[in-house]
Chains A and B, each alone.
Chain A
Amino acid sequence: MMELEIELKKASDSLKSWDTTSISLTAGCDLFMRYVTRTSALEYEDFNSAKSRLIERAEKFGEISYKARRIIAMLSQDFIFDGCTILVHGFSRVVLEVLKTAAQNKKLFRVLCTEGRPDRTGLRLSNELAKLDVPVKLLIDSAVAYSMDEIDMVFVGADGVVESGGIINMMGTYQIALVAHSMNKPVYVAAESYKFARLYPLDQKDMAPALRPIDFGVPIPSKVEVETSARDYTPPQYLTLLFTDLGVLTPSVVSDELIQLYL
């Protein structure tokens, strides 16, 4: 039994090491381990029954994660009203699911998409939305404050949700959240619950760095430094609500959930 746990841990570690910067991967692995091993089945005499119990829980975990996106999409339908304008940043499949469901429910809304340099995520997202016949408008990243007046809400995904209730997401999210907060627009985050991580950054530099080279299209002189970080941290006071498969939560509930799960 202990052997099995060790095997699981090894597998989880090797998976995590494949991409050390991915918070959702780490968080997902950790939560999976906790969920699976947090059962009294480990005390059963019969190894086979314990093993099948573990497998059962593992499959359940997979199902939950898979269904999570649909649950989140359902929960957020109430917040999208007819005639609203939504600002989206970064390519998140959860947010895409949310908008897809809203379109299928025949809601009338339009989407403003940030370009999302350097990944061009905005272009990908606007492609997908155009296929759904949702009116889409592309903005360059600097035009967010300019357009904030006509925006009703901001929707982002998350790479990871940290213990304070803040999120780690694609670079630019913090900026958008700050602008939205100062203009009293709600910021909604759509994230599955396996992304809850046991991190607690105090400021932007307090995280493990995740660097991504930026292609400017023109050669940069070697003396000039480039900020290549791909992520930033948005503190919880700028977020309004988190849509998760556990329900619609406020940022302070994240710690509650983590404590219940981990301790």
Chain B
Amino acid sequence: MEPRRPSRAVIDPKVRQVGFITPNAPPQQPVRTQSYPPESNSPPLSESPASNSLSPVMIPPPRHLSDNLTAYRTPAVPVPESSRRRAEPAAVACSYDPSESLFGTSSPAPSPLASSRLVVDGEFSEESWFKKSDSAKFASSFPGGGFDLTTVKNVGVAAAVAAKKPAAVSGNEKSKASGAESKNELPSGSGSKTSKVKMTKSERRSLQESQRAAKGGNKSAGASSSRAAKQPQQKKDAAPAPPSVAASEKKGTDRPPEKERKKDVPAPRMQFDDKSRVEKAKKRAVVNQTEVRNRVELFRHLPQYEHGTQLPDLESKFFRNDPMHRAVYKVGLQYLAGDITGGNARCIAMLQAFSEAIRDYTTPAEKTLTRDLTAKIGSYVSFLIECRPLSISMGNAIRFLKNRIAKLPLTLSESEAKTSLCLDIDRFINEKIILADRVIVRHASTKIRDGDVLLTYGSSCVVEMLLSHALELGKKFHVVIVDSRPKLEGQSLLRRLVANGLNCTYTHLNAVSYIMHEVTRVFLGASSILSNGTVYSRVGTAAVAMVANAFSVPVLICCEAYKFHERVQLDSICFNELGDPQAVAKVSGRGDVNYLGSLGNKDNLQLLNLMYDATPSEYISMIVTDYGMIPPTSVPVIVREYCRDQLWI
């Protein structure tokens, strides 16, 4: 067992202690508490290596990208060895030589991360998919070049693996030699991004170069795209393309292999617990934000900034047209201030800002319209992400726009191209949002009968339209609006509905089980619906849907089809958005309710303000979209049939 390095001030996220513990607890010897499941293809993280004094109820840390690809083994522990032996015949049956490819690119450096985990089976079976050519080595299965995070993890993983299998040293030497030769040619952009791994810098660099060499040696685009295609299958949280595309554009370096990969697979999202990456991203950031100091461990991979620090700085830059178009700036400020909320509203505002920006755009000399405009849109998107992380609907809209730009015929003049793009944007807004809403309202109002008691949560624009429309149709029904702190979005909905003449009841989330027995239907909106039927919506939606299910009340989700995404999410943790934690502590308008005031920055108090949650599909009865009423199991069908290549026909 490798002794851990003496205490560090920073808790390494890969081995971080998750659960309710005090930070800065001294790291102790890792303890193996779990044996490996024999068959898992996507190996669960058994425990964090630093899980020493934690209770058995601890939540295992979220999986990171690199965890898929390697097996960590401590020779001292007998259990994993046997499972590894078990895995090996399977791997061999896949015509895959574990020793050769696993450690092909790692240098024989001892890894302090020796203690980590991972089922060999899963790793082997995943690897066997990749083995297309002999240069498709373990590390090369990653898009090594572009995504710093992955190479970093790659390196760490590869290093750790290398430590375990001295038998594969020969393989290492071979690749190291090849790596050394190609070292000079390759961009060393990500060479510095190895802070997570406890290897010497030169070892890491050589590892990365060798990985890149292996990758560069494999020229076939097919292999790289197939590799890339395999990746989302491993990653538990396949990222949406736009933030990752924006993130990669943030880095700015051009890496040709990625471009073809980008077509196949969305790049991984930036995980915010990687300090060096965050630093680098900050340098490019337009908005200066300071990170909140006291963060919840479980959500360290999500960005969280001090609320309200950016506004004055941004306002002063408002009237400069460069680097940001003023319309985009304005929309960004509105997001930041919280003036525009709701998936549809944000998407429409963003698209209209882009439309204006395109209208004012002129192609610089020596550049093509498509490439330069795509880059510009990318920079706008990065700015918007800094103001507020993108919603999935915005991500899909951006993908659509970039697709349209890329598909512009080269023979068009600049003004024609710009008009065509603006028309496309208008058509998208009109068809996919405005008309779609009308179709949804028409379908869903057939499900409202006289005498119904309808429940809704928060404020969804589609549900509001539906209720107003049903009222116009003359149906007699009663509405219950369930609201929750800190946003209290239901109050604005309540005001508008009462002004319209509807009979309404208003309550908070804690009373939902009290009132549910009187309810006949539940109508909810969604920020997005994922491919396994999971509804990703405002936090609290899942609770309402589950209570409704327990009372056998049908739950109907009203969501436009452009918000569907092919991603799959199993819980609310791996992808979410963190809001201002102070909003949880304070009650607006009640200065006397300030019990947490003095505890502001205590170490053992962490405030969490989640914005979204994921509702599993078994609690949903029906999804009303502009393609009709579908069961939650049919979401991937719609994605498959109508969202091919982001054409959005």
Contact = CB atoms under 8 A, between A and B. Distances in A.
Interface of A: 163-165, 198, 200, 202-203, 206, 236, 252, 255-256, 259-260, 262-263
B622 A255 contact: no
Contacts of A260: 637, 641
Interface in B621-649: 621-622, 627-631, 633-634, 637-638, 641-642
Contacts of A164: 621-622, 631
Max chain A CB contacts within 10 Å: which of B621, B633, B638, B641?
B633
Nearest to A260: B641
B630 A203 contact: no
Interface of B: 447, 521, 554, 556, 621-622, 627-631, 633-634, 637-638, 641-642
B618 to A, nearest CB: 9
B630 A259 contact: yes
Contact of A200 (B629, B633, B641): B629
Contact of A256 (B554, B621, B637): B637
B631 A252 contact: yes
A160 to B, nearest CB: 15
A99 B7 CA distance: 74
B631 A165 contact: yes
A200 B444 CA distance: 11
B622 A202 contact: yes
Contacts of B630: 163, 255, 259
5 contacts: A164-B622, A198-B628, A255-B631, A255-B634, A259-B637
B97 to A, nearest CB: 39
B521 A202 contact: yes
A200 B631 CA distance: 9
Contact of B633 (A206, A252, A263): A252
Contacts of B642: 263
A202 B447 contact: yes
Contacts of B634: 252, 255-256, 259
Given A163-B630, A164-B631, A263-B627, A202 B621 contact: yes
A263 B637 CA distance: 11
A202 B549 CA distance: 13
Contact of A255 (B554, B556, B637): B637
A168 B637 CA distance: 24
Q: Which 7 A-B pairs have the closest CB atoms?
A: A252-B633, A255-B634, A202-B554, A200-B629, A164-B631, A256-B637, A255-B631
Contacts of B641: 259-260, 263
Contacts of A165: 631, 633
Contacts of A202: 447, 521, 554, 556, 621-622
**Which among A198, A200, A206 has the highest number of chain B CB atoms within 10 Å?**
A200
B554 A203 contact: yes
B517 to A, nearest CB: 15
Given A200-B622, A202-B521, A263-B642, 13 more contacts: A164-B631, A165-B631, A165-B633, A198-B628, A202-B447, A202-B622, A236-B631, A255-B630, A255-B631, A259-B628, A259-B634, A259-B641, A263-B641
Nearest to B443: A200
A206 B637 CA distance: 25
A252 to B, nearest CB: 4
A200 B443 CA distance: 11
Nearest to A166: B631
B547 to A, nearest CB: 17
B201 to A, nearest CB: 53
Contacts of A255: 630-631, 633-634, 637
A87 to B, nearest CB: 26
A164 B632 CA distance: 9
A237 to B, nearest CB: 9
B378 to A, nearest CB: 33
A236 B631 CA distance: 10
Contacts of B633: 165, 252, 255
A194 to B, nearest CB: 19
Contact of B638 (A163, A198, A236, A259): A259
A263 B629 CA distance: 12
A209 B332 CA distance: 53
A40 B201 CA distance: 65
A203 B521 CA distance: 11
B532 to A, nearest CB: 12
Contacts of B554: 202-203
Given A200-B622, A202-B622, A255-B637, A263 B628 contact: yes
Nearest to A259: B637
B614 to A, nearest CB: 20
A252 B638 CA distance: 13
Contacts of A203: 554
Contacts of A163: 628-631
Contacts of B521: 202
Contacts of B628: 163, 198, 259, 262-263
A165 B622 CA distance: 12
A259 B631 contact: no
- Most chain B Cβ neighbours within 10 Å, of A165, A198, A203: A203
A202 B630 CA distance: 12
A28 B222 CA distance: 46
A206 B642 CA distance: 29
